[in-house]
């Protein structure tokens, strides 16, 4: 790993996602406060990080960001307590908007992955034994019971199944779960 640049401010507990060659960095903690700034980072020969207006977006830590269609969907997180907000960031016009629906339970430290026009969430703090499906097509959140409590898992899809890796059930886990929507 090579240090290539620095952000305008030191942050931890942040999240990032790329869209059309630009990496968008959301929220985090600057050591004193939770920030609501969104940064646009352009890597390359002359890297730069520019602060964007976050509009009505409320800062939080431990969010998940999922790229879906032409937007970045920001889900959950913590502003000191778990939140259940869903927001959409449009990289085209740099606008932020609230989704028409919230999660059924506030959560952070969960896994998120998109498949088709749906976003699936697995485990986390507060919603720890719940799998949720957020359908952007119909603007609905559905919850399913998970077989186990998972805090801090990871998830990925192979296009037909979703695989959920590790996470804590009190101790770090090595289980791999397959979820078939």
Which residues lie across from 95 on neighbouring strands? Answer: 90
**More reliable by pLDDT, 147 or 26:** 26
Of 11-15, 96-100, 113-117, which gets the smallest average pLDDT?
Answer: 96-100
Kindly report the number of other CB atoms within 10 A of residue 85's CB atom.
18
Q: What residues are paired with 141 via a beta bridge?
A: 134
What are residue 111's DSSP bridge partners?
Answer: 122
Per-residue pLDDT at 130 exceeds 80: no
Percentage of the chain exceeding pLDDT 90: 40
Given a cut of 90, whether residue 157 has pLDDT beyond it is yes
First to last CA, the chain: 37
Check the CA dihedral 156-161-163-164 and report its sign: positive
Arithmetic mean of pLDDT, 165-176: 88
**Distance between CA atoms of residues 151 and 170, nearest Å:** 8
Q: How confident is the model at residue 140 (pLDDT cuts 50, 70, 90)?
A: confident
pTM of the model: 0.87
What is residue 170's DSSP assignment?
S
């Amino acid at each position: 790993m090579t240090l290539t640049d620095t952000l305008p401010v030191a942050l931890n507990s942040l999240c990032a996602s790329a869209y059309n060659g630009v990496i968008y960095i959301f929220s985090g903690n600057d050591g004193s406060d939770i920030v609501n700034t969104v940064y646009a980072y352009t890597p390359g020969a002359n890297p730069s990080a520019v602060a964007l207006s976050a509009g009505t977006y409320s800062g939080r830590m431990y969010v998940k960001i999922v790229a879906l269609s032409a937007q970045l969907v920001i889900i959950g997180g913590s502003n000191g307590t778990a939140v259940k907000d869903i927001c959409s960031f449009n990289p085209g016009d740099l606008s932020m908007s609230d989704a028409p629906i919230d999660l059924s339970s506030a959560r952070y430290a969960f896994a998120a992955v998109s498949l088709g026009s749906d976003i699936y969430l697995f485990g986390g703090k507060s919603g720890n034994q719940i799998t949720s499906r957020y359908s952007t097509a119909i603007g609905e959140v559905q919850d399913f019971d998970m077989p186990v409590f998972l805090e801090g898992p990871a998830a990925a899809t192979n296009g037909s199944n979703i695989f959920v890796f590790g996470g804590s059930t009190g101790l770090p886990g090595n289980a791999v779960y397959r979820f078939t929507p």
